[in-house]
Amino acid sequence: MTKQKFRVALAGNPNCGKTTIFNYLTGAHQHVGNYSGVTVERKSGICHADSMEVEIIDLPGIYSLSSSSPEEKVAFNELLTQDIDLILNIIDAGNPQRNLYLTTQLVELGIPMLLVFNMADDAHRRGLKFNLPILERYFGAPIVRTVGAHGRGIEHMKSEMAKLLRAEYPQYPARLRYGEVLDGLIAQVEEMIAKLDLSALSGAPVRYFAIKLLEGDACISSLPVFAPVIEPVAALRAKLAVRFGVDAETILPDARYGMISGACREAIRITNERRQQLSDNIDRVMTNRYLGLPIFLLIMFAIFALTFFCADPFVGMLESLFGWLAETITAFWPEGRLEFLRALITDGIIGGVGGVLGFLPNILFLFLGIAFLEGTGYMARAAYVMDGFMHIFGLHGKSFIPMLLGFGCTVPAVMATRSIESEKDRLTTIMVLPLMSCSARLPIYSLLIPAFFPQKFQALIMWIIYVLGVVLALIGARIMKSTLFKGSDEVYLMELPPYRMPTFRSLLIHMWERSLCYLRKAGTLILLASVILFVINALPQKTAFSKNYAEEIRTLESSSRIPEADRKEQILRLESEKKMESLEYSVAGRIGRGLEVVMKPIGFDWRICSALIGAFAAKELFVSQLSILFSMSGAEDDATPLQSVLRENYTPLQAFCMMVYCLVSMPCVGTVAVVKRETNSWKLTLLQLAGLTLTAYLLCLALFQIGTLLQIGTSLLQTCG
């Protein structure tokens, strides 16, 4: 019976467009998770080609098939232990020599392979002309050209893939030659291995294991089945080192690069005689030792300005939508029937969740800007530029990548530190990552900055908050590298991909994928927490008040001697006082009042303290709790947005301290959990939580007291122009 279901692995270097091709092949039929035991993402999906069902496995981006990083170990094990029918080796056609190094290792697996020269348009612009038949004969695998970003060549690639899968006799890759000496030694090791029982291993050729043992691959060498040959192979490696004057670990990679160089010399011609590429010219400025850092800071400032400018109209529309929804429910709700349930829906769920979702446009535009910088290749330059600067603080460029991820979410950023080889550097990076302004804090900034600061200064204030987090993280890293985690600095090498103009479609995909996590949180954790916050704000209900509010309101309503406008204002004030008493009597009010004793020196009243309780579960809940508090307090009417009410109750100095405290203080529960898992230490986890909270308090204490003394931002605002 003809096989109808196949498994195909996508393998390639980072930045080769592999994920774009995976998305085209699988569409919505994708499954995303983590590989067992590691935080490396596992993507798989179903593709239908020529009536066949093909499972596509998107391997992590790797530079070699080794075991020196979690990504390489995952790809290594997936290809060796799973029943793979075909490898789609995605190659950046604009950088063939670098990408083909992985190809030389994949060939040794003896699995049928299709070489996909992606980004063919880049190669054309760079003046590269390929003689594909020569390369096909050399590697023993067919080659197709694609432009994954635009979907060109994908159907042809699927057709070739189906043809290889349907072939009566599999087309195995060619056997590569490493030179007379190396090939002779490989043959000797093959003879040794042939005497062993390899039944527990996959169907990889004996030659593959021989090469891996000869170059000293740690993963293969550690397998018990090869224990009898480790010493004789080590002796061969020693002879090899003496003959060539370098380690065997260097000889085999050099041989691979030599093969690639020879193949490319025969099969690739450069028609563009300009040796100085556009990317190199741009990098002269963008990565300049003096200009690189100021340019990076200016670019981030421009991203924040764009975020506020573009998102503002959409934020207003969402506020109006949620306000209309609450008013509609209130208007149709039978008066006097299940009032608590109505308030839960309008004030708790719509007020709480809506207060957070109202700032979704800010998050979308921020992620759009970051996706653009990543797509163009600039983010790799930013890490390169920051490397030298971060060495001053005891870190290096590899720590900057998790810090960049921290602007999205701290949880995956902490997981990403596994790529840092030095344990001390990894722990230092984990400890300071919560100081990066994650997307959960963005609703707080988006609420307070427009409420308290003029439009011309809004991007600057947000830029200051983000930079403050980075500066505090670097200072904290320097302190820890001098005390807790002393150790020597490591050399950091990073690939700088060529500049490209990302497609609008790819930008939208990246923006949506990152924002989807925010929406999921709003629909689950924040929804649940908003209900809980509403309940602790509403219960227990107070029955005895400091004055007879009902009687005083009736007296005012029946009075004809007081002007109508003044009468309405006094009635509104009495209703607000009554609801505020009820709130203070509630569970949240009592907790807030208890904390107020400690927090008053930094400018926080009991309502802000109450809002900080929810922020420990998720930072966005700070906004949710404020929305619930002020909607229940009667401090805002249906036509007044939350920002106007906050302006009437707090000063710009207090608002700035709120943002700083939410930036620096204890991380959310999710971050605490992942830090404990990654450090395997409650001591470090609790030290981080307590240290950040104490730092936040002392910093806000200094800001508020000095600002009050100098009368900076201490006046209540009625408008914000």
How does pLDDT run across 237-251, given as a tens digit for each residue? 888 777 666 677 778
- Provide the CB-side half-sphere exposure for 327 (13 A, CA): 10
pLDDT (0 to 100) of residue 277 = 57
Q: What is the model's pTM?
A: 0.57
- Span of 92-106, 381-395, 548-562, 635-649 with lowest mean pLDDT: 635-649
In a 10 Å sphere around its CB, with 0-12 CB exposed, 13-18 middle and 19+ buried, how is residue 133 labelled?
Answer: exposed
In a 10 Å sphere around its CB, with 0-12 CB exposed, 13-18 middle and 19+ buried, how is residue 558 labelled?
Answer: exposed
Domains 5-166 and 180-270 share a fold: no
Q: Which residue has the tokens 């089945």?
A: 225
pLDDT (0 to 100) of residue 39 = 43
User: Within 397-503, where are the H helices?
Assistant: 397-406, 410-416, 423-432, 442-452, 455-482
- Say if CB 557 and CB 370 are below 8 A apart: no
Band the pLDDT of 156: cuts 50, 70, 90.
very high
In a 10 Å sphere around its CB, with 0-12 CB exposed, 13-18 middle and 19+ buried, how is residue 493 labelled?
Answer: exposed
- Say if CB 647 and CB 447 are below 8 A apart: no
CATH architecture of 5-166: 3-Layer(aba) Sandwich (3.40)
CA triple 399-403-408, angle to 5 deg:
150
Q: Which residue has the tokens 């509104």?
A: 572
For the chain, domain boundaries: 5-166, 180-270, 293-491+498-529, 544-585
Mean per-residue pLDDT over the chain, rounded: 82
What is the C-alpha radius of gyration for the chain, rounded to an integer number of angstroms? 31
In a 10 Å sphere around its CB, with 0-12 CB exposed, 13-18 middle and 19+ buried, how is residue 584 labelled?
Answer: middle
At position 563, the amino acid (one-letter code) is P
Tell me the average pLDDT across 703-712.
94
CA–CA distance, 452 with 49 (Å, rounded to integer): 57
Whether omega before 60 lies within 30 degrees of 0, making that bond cis, reads: no
pLDDT digits 0-9 by tens, 580-632: 777 778 887 888 888 999 999 999 998 899 888 777 777 877 887 787 777 65
CA–CA distance, 351 with 717 (Å, rounded to integer): 24
- Say if CB 506 and CB 333 are below 8 A apart: no
Q: Which residue has the tokens 């030179």?
A: 179
Task: Report in angstroms the alpha-carbon separations of 314 from 23, 123, 318, 358.
Answer: 29, 40, 6, 9
285 or 112, higher pLDDT: 112
pLDDT digits 0-9 by tens, 1-18: 466 789 999 999 988 888
CA–CA distance, 113 with 173 (Å, rounded to integer): 7
Instruction: For residue 664, give every residue at least 6 positions away whose Cβ sits within 8 Å of its Cβ, in sequence order, or none.
Output: 435, 469, 472, 692, 695, 696, 699
pLDDT (0 to 100) of residue 145 = 95
Q: At residue 275, does pLDDT exceed 60?
A: no
Structure token digits, residue 684: 């470090």
- Span of 89-93, 259-263, 687-691 with lowest mean pLDDT: 259-263
SS3 483: coil
Q: Percent of the chain at pLDDT above 90? A: 21
The DSSP element (H or E) to which 314 belongs, if any, is helix 292-332
CA–CA distance, 13 with 655 (Å, rounded to integer): 46
Q: At residue 499, does pLDDT exceed 80?
A: no
- Say if CB 359 and CB 316 are below 8 A apart: no
Domain 180-270 has CATH 3.30.56.10: no
- Say if CB 658 and CB 665 are below 8 A apart: no
Tell me the average pLDDT across 466-483.
91
Which of 281-285, 417-421, 614-618 tops mean pLDDT?
Answer: 281-285
Tell me the average pLDDT across 488-496.
52
